[in-house]
A and B are shown apart, each in its own frame.
Chain A
C-alpha cells in the first residue's frame, strides 16, 4: 500500500550526475556506486569513509554539491545520508533515515542539509558552526516539513536562501519559508505552484532582476517546463517543450505524453539557458528564459548521434559553459554487465558559439575520466542498446505511480474487514 515501496526484482535506478560549482570535480552515481573524478588533478578522487568499508549498500537516488562546492551529499535506498567534505573527499557525517531517501539539498551557506524520504517528509541536519575538520558523530535529522504521503522528487533552495522548494509526484510544488531556526520545523508555507497535470520531476532557479529569490522553473511528466513566481505561486509561462521541439504532435494522446516526460533540467550560465532532458529523446532541448517578459522559449535542440543516449541526469558547474550528461542504470537484468553508465558533455553555450556534443577524445579529463565515471573507457554498442530499455524502465519506475490493475484493486477491497457500516 505504501507509495513507492516497489518490488526489488524489477527495480532499476537511473544513473545520476553532479558537477562541482567551480567544475573541479564531477560525480556519477550508478546503482550503489559513487564515482568522483577530480578534473583539476586529472584523476579519480578516492573517497574516504571511516564509518565503514562500503559507502552505500543500495541504490543511490540523490547526489548533490553545495552552492559553495565544499560539501557533497549522497543518499538513496539504503536509508543512509552521507555528507562529504569535498576537499579531501572525506565522509564527515553519516545520518540515518527511517525511510528510503528520494531527494537532497544543501542550504546555500552550507549550514543545513535537507533530505526527503519515501513518506514525503523532509528532514534537516544542522551543520551550523561546523568547521569541516572533524567527523561529526551521532548527528540526527529532525523533521522540517511534509508532503502528505507523496514522493518528493526534487528539493531546492531559492537563490537568496529564504525559501525551500519541494516538488512531488502528485503534481505539486510547495514553497516554504526556510526559518531562522529550521530545527523547529518550517511551518510557514509561502505558496503552492499548481498547474502541472502530471508528476513534477525537477525544479531549478534562474536569476532575474526584481526577483531576489530567483524565478522557479519546473519540468514534469506532462511534457512541459513551467516558469513560476514563488512569492505568489503564480504560473508565469508554460512551455510545451516536447511539442515546441517537434518531438510531439500537438493533439497527442496521453500515452505519448508519458514518453516525452521531462526527466531533468539544469541551468546553464546562471539561467541564461536551460537544458532539458526528455524521456525518449536522444539529446537535450535548450530553453531560453527571458526574465523581462517572464517567458520561456525553445532555443534549440542538441541531439546526440550514435547509440541511444537518452540522458538520465544533467549537471553543470554553475557559471561554466559545459553541460555534463549521464545515461545509465543500476543493473541490467539478464546481462553480464552489473551496471551501466555513459558520460557525455556539451560545450559552446556562449552566445556566439554553437553548442556541440564533445567528442569522446576531447572530453575534459579524457579517457581517465570516462574510465572512472563509466567504469570503462568504451562501452560495447550491444550493451548500450540493451541499456536503453532499462533506462526507460528506470525513469518510469522513478516517476510514474504504480497503478494497480482495477481487478486487483477490487479484490483488495473485497478482502477488507472494515466494510461494515457504522454511524
Chain B
C-alpha cells in the first residue's frame, strides 16, 4: 500500500497549514516590479481555479456568477473566512502581495473546504499588487464591497504614495465598485485613519454611511475582530479608527 503523502507544512492535529512555514517579510514595497502572472483583462480570470464548485469546467465563465467582494491586502485571510459563512452565496477574493502569505491563505482555504464539505467554496485568494492590477481583475461596477483592513501605514511623507488608500487610487476603487457599493477601512494607526477618512470625504464619488447604517450592517463588527491584525490590536487593547463609505453616482454633467 502506498504511503500517504505527508505534507510537513500542514499540522497533523488540526489539518490546517502551519503559519511558521509561511513566513515572509513584514512589508513589501508595492512600487517594485514583482514577477507574478497578471490576467490580461477581467475576462481572462479563470474562475474554475478559484471556485471549482461554481465553475466546474475551466475556460471562460458562462455562469453568471461574478466576484462581488474584494479584501485588499487580505493578509492571512481571517476576514474572508468570516464572510464566507456570512454570505455563503457571494463570491469573494483576497488580494495579497506577499507570495508566502498568499500560499498560506490558499492552503488554509483548501483545508477548510476538505474539512467542511460544501463550505468555503466561495472564497479564494490571488497574489497580486492591488495598487496596479485592480482593473485586470474586475469589470466596471462589478464589486459590491471592498475591504482595506489594517493596511501598512507608510508613515514617511514621501512614502504616502505607497498607501493603498489615496485620492488617485480611490478613482480606481470607485470604478470597480457599483453605485451603492461599500468600501470598508480600518486601522489602529490614528494618522492613517485620519488620512483614509479625509481621502474618502474629499472624493466626489464616495459618501459616508450614517450611524444607523453602520449599526445595521453586520459586516462592520467584523472589521475589528475578524482578521489576524485586528485580533492582535484587540489583544493589546489598541484603539481602532474606521471609515466606511458608499460609492455614489457622479454629479458632473458631461453629456
Please list the residues of chain A having a beta carbon within 8 angstroms of any beta carbon in chain B.
Answer: 1-3, 119, 121, 143, 145-146, 148-150, 162, 170-172, 174, 176-180, 184-189, 191-192, 194-195, 197, 233, 401, 416, 418-423
Contacts and interface: CB of A to CB of B under 8 A. Distances in A.
B14 interface: no
B205 A421 contact: no
27 contacts: A1-B31, A1-B32, A119-B161, A143-B168, A148-B131, A149-B31, A170-B132, A171-B40, A172-B135, A174-B135, A177-B250, A179-B252, A179-B254, A180-B252, A184-B204, A185-B171, A187-B205, A189-B172, A189-B175, A197-B40, A418-B27, A419-B25, A420-B25, A421-B23, A422-B26, A423-B76, A423-B232
A242 to B, nearest CB: 19
Contacts of A1: 29, 31-32
B38 to A, nearest CB: 8
Contacts of B167: 143, 185
Contacts of B9: none
A134 to B, nearest CB: 31
Given A191-B140, A418-B26, 12 more contacts: A3-B33, A121-B168, A149-B131, A162-B254, A172-B135, A176-B171, A177-B250, A180-B253, A187-B171, A192-B135, A401-B33, A423-B229
B189 interface: no
A401 B33 CA distance: 10
A122 B40 CA distance: 24
Contacts of A172: 135
Query: Would you list the 6 A-B pairs with minimal beta carbon distance, nearest first?
Result: A146-B168, A422-B26, A194-B41, A189-B175, A419-B25, A192-B135
B156 to A, nearest CB: 14
Given A179-B252, A195-B40, A401-B33, A188 B131 contact: no
Contacts of A189: 140, 171-172, 174-175
Given A188-B174, A418-B26, A194 B252 contact: no
A99 to B, nearest CB: 12
Contacts of B25: 416, 418-421
Nearest to B169: A148
Contacts of B253: 180
Interface string B19-36: 100011111010111000
- If over half of B's interface residues share one DSSP class (helix, strand or loop), that class is named, otherwise mixed; here it is loop
B127 interface: no
A422 B232 CA distance: 11
Contacts of B225: none
A197 B37 CA distance: 12
B245 to A, nearest CB: 14
Nearest to A190: B140
Given A143-B168, A185-B167, A421 B174 contact: no
A194 B174 contact: no
Contacts of B33: 3, 401
A423 B232 CA distance: 8
B162 to A, nearest CB: 9
Contact of A188 (B26, B232, B250): B250
Nearest to A162: B254
A407 to B, nearest CB: 14
Given A418-B27, A420-B26, A162 B255 contact: yes
A188 B205 contact: yes
Contacts of B140: 189, 191, 233
A380 to B, nearest CB: 41
Contacts of A121: 168
Nearest to B140: A191
A179 B203 CA distance: 14
Contacts of A191: 140
Contacts of A119: 161
Given A188-B250, A401-B33, A145 B171 contact: yes
A187 B31 contact: no
A184 B175 CA distance: 18
B136 interface: yes
Contact of B135 (A185, A194, A421): A194
Nearest to B75: A423
B228 interface: yes
Contacts of B41: 192, 194-195
B29 A177 contact: no
Given A150-B132, A194-B136, A421 B255 contact: no
B180 to A, nearest CB: 16
Interface in B112-157: 131-132, 135-136, 140
A187 B203 contact: yes
A188 B171 CA distance: 6
